Amino acid sequence: MPMPPQAPLPVRQFAATLLGFPNRSTANLPLWSFFGASAAPPGQSAAIIKQLRERSGAPIADVKNMLLEHGWDVEKAFEALRKKGLAAAAKKASRHAAEGLVGASFAAACASTASTGGTRSGGAGSVVVVELNSETDFVARNSLFQDLVREVMAAAHSLGQAAALGPDHSMNLEQLLAARTSSGATVSEAVTQVAAQVRENVRLRRAFRVDGGDGLVFPYVHQAATPGLGKLASVVVVRSEDGSPLRMQDSSISSSAQSSCSGSSSSSSETNALLQAAGEGLAMQVAGMRPAYLTRGSVPPEVLVKERELLMQQLQQDEAFRGKPAQVVSKVVEGRLTKLLGEMCLAEQQYVLDNNITVQQMMTRLRKDVGRPLQVSSFLRVQCGEGLGLRGGGDFASEVARIVNET
């Protein structure tokens, strides 16, 4: 529905003062925004501002103004922030408030070599990733808390593939909380017990399971203070493009046992080393560069359309492009979209271990060295406190409440 025309600035300033909005920035808003449509649900204005601030990374004043201007509709306000170039969604995906740990644990596919303690760094099998939150980092460094993370990961492994839900690899938390730990207690009971001992709110927030299937799965934990536990974990799955099983030789077991586990002949030590290095490097890539998609071809068409529209709207507001021919503007949009996709897509990113090549070029070299057509089939990235607020510094809720009260 079209909005009423703007009232003169003095009128808007008078209305803002009369209605209890003396802040200079809110006085510049349309007059209609001070009435019915701009009212936030009772008692929820601070929470809505906090939500959009964390999602967009835009200054709080701009966040509040956009919410007022769009009737406290979070989606419309977010799009408006993006159009004005105030929100960098892809680079502000995580704001850290909650403390705790993320744990990643690999389990080999063969029962005789299965390890849920994270002693191996990948291969044929599966990886579980769990996030356990606490109120302070002090508790996260406590051995009780760290042991609990390991117990939860072991319980997650025990549930098997049936516990994983959908393409995002997430696990059914209710099912995991009901699973038994090595002590016989349920995961839920174990979490409650540790919370009582450390006297903090401890909760299991998320859990994931990534299965390698006929490929190889590799976990990575960034700056792990203790093996398998840290603030950020990632997982990649590498498979053969032709669908044939991809396996690595385990020197800790006999050739006959390895053959019975993999169903195929073992790889050479040199091939093992190449696959291991590539898997670890790719997992590190996902952790550091946070891709959203595997390749440009996997980006949904609607995402491309939306990004083009946003880039076009940004250029239309840029004085430097006023009056420029449409074909020039279109070419700039496509150039910026290509750059954006280079950041969003794993295959097109610069490889973290060699800035002179892309991930795709690294995979091309690996195919040649290994003698098999290989591809990254999926990946996962989990960061502690992702989406929950700022890490450590300042009381963000109080900051939002102050701004709401001032305006």
Any idea where the domains of the chain sit in the sequence? Answer: 9-92, 99-293+374-383, 296-370
Q: What sections of 125-254 are H helices per DSSP?
A: 137-140, 143-159, 173-178, 187-198
**Which of 55 and 97 is assigned the larger pLDDT?**
55
Residues 6+ apart with CB under 8 A from 135: 99, 200, 201
pLDDT the model gives residue 159: 92
CB-based burial label for 405 (10 Å; 0-12, 13-18, 19+): exposed
400: pLDDT strictly greater than 60: no
Answering whether pTM is above 0.85, one says: no
Q: Which amino acid appears at position 249 of this protein?
A: Q
Mean pLDDT to the nearest integer, 312-326? 82
Confidence of residue 49 (pLDDT cuts 50, 70, 90): confident
What is the sign, positive or negative, of the torsion defined by CA atoms of 349, 352, 356, 360? negative
For residues 13-52, b (16+ Cβ closer than 10 Å) or e, as one string? bebbeeeebebeebbebebbbbeeebebeeeebbebbbbb
Confidence of residue 102 (pLDDT cuts 50, 70, 90): very high
Mean pLDDT to the nearest integer, 78-97? 56
Mean pLDDT to the nearest integer, 86-113? 63
Running DSSP on this structure, what letter comes out for residue 90? G
325: pLDDT strictly greater than 80: yes
What is the sign, positive or negative, of the torsion defined by CA atoms of 118, 121, 124, 126? positive
Residue 100 φ/ψ, nearest 5 degrees: 135, -155
The hierarchical CATH code for the domain 99-293+374-383 is 3.30.479.20
Nearest-angstrom CA–CA distance, 206 and 210: 14
Confidence of residue 98 (pLDDT cuts 50, 70, 90): low
Confidence of residue 195 (pLDDT cuts 50, 70, 90): confident
Nearest-angstrom CA–CA distance, 378 and 347: 12
Mean predicted lDDT score pLDDT of the chain: 78
17: pLDDT strictly greater than 80: no
51: pLDDT strictly greater than 60: yes
CA 316 to chain centre: 31
CB 279 within 8 A of CB 236: yes
Cα torsion 181, 185, 188, 194 to 10°: value is -90
pLDDT the model gives residue 57: 64
Task: Give the position of tokens 């808007």.
Answer: 12
129: pLDDT strictly greater than 90: yes
Residues above pLDDT 70, as percent of the chain: 74
Residue 219 φ/ψ, nearest 5 degrees: -100, 160
CB 385 within 8 A of CB 133: yes
374: pLDDT strictly greater than 70: yes
> Distance between the two ends of the chain, CA-based, in angstroms?
27
Residues above pLDDT 90, as percent of the chain: 39
For residues 138-151, b (16+ Cβ closer than 10 Å) or e, as one string? ebbebeebbebbbb
368: pLDDT strictly greater than 70: yes
Residues 6+ apart with CB under 8 A from 253: 110, 112, 113, 261
Quick: pLDDT tens for 230-281: 999 999 999 999 888 888 765 443 334 444 454 443 447 888 889 999 999 9
**In a 3-state reduction of DSSP, which class is residue 371?**
coil
**Which of 26 and 177 is assigned the larger pLDDT?**
177
Nearest-angstrom CA–CA distance, 147 and 141: 10
Mean pLDDT to the nearest integer, 280-306? 93
31: pLDDT strictly greater than 50: no
Nearest-angstrom CA–CA distance, 245 and 267: 11
371: pLDDT strictly greater than 70: yes
